[in-house]
Amino acid sequence: MSRPNTPDRINPDGSKTITTKRACNGCGDLIGDLTDNEFTAALMGRPLPDVRQECPACAPTAPPPACIPMKVMAGEVYCLLRDCDHNIPDDADYCREVREEIVCSTHSEFQASPEEDYEAVTHAQPWPCKQQMGAAA
Ligand SMILES: [Zn+2]
Ligand SMILES: [Zn+2]
Ligand SMILES: [Zn+2]
């Protein structure tokens, strides 16, 4: 698995375009371009994926990416956007149709909205995550 590694570009007007790089979470070396997924993860405060298996220095000793529990809000889109007709209690951010779920952030998939002010879970891997047990076997 390899990711693009875009070199910095000098534009005709002399300015520089720098593609944000992902640093290895093991040794800190830059391993390539930041992916869209990592960009939104950083933006949303979601744990960044473990990339040690992509790093030449760390890959030989890196364990499979660890599962990381993460709390997400589950419910109808309109409820999550607080755009529903339900009554939202004063002490809550959402109506009672919205529930908290714990998912594995490593093995779930996320999709940022075009406005990037929220992120939808396109594949929720329930916690405790069974993926890790499968990988260890
Ligand atoms: Zn590394
Ligand atoms: Zn997992
Ligand atoms: Zn609602």
Cβ-based burial of 89 (10 A; exposed 0-12, middle 13-18, buried ≥19): exposed
Residue 81 CA to ligand 3 center (angstroms) comes to 9
Over residues 106-133, the mean pLDDT reads 85
**Beta strand pairing call for 119-123 and 109-112:** antiparallel
Query: Counting ligands in written order, which one lies closest to the CA of residue 59?
Result: 1
| Residue 103: band (very low, low, confident or very high) from pLDDT cuts 50, 70, 90 | very high
Q: What single-letter DSSP state applies at residue 126?
A: B
Distance CA 71, CA 119 (A): 13
Over residues 123-136, the mean pLDDT reads 78
pLDDT higher than threshold 80 for residue 90: yes
pLDDT for 7 equals 93
Residue 51 CA to ligand 1 center (angstroms) comes to 8
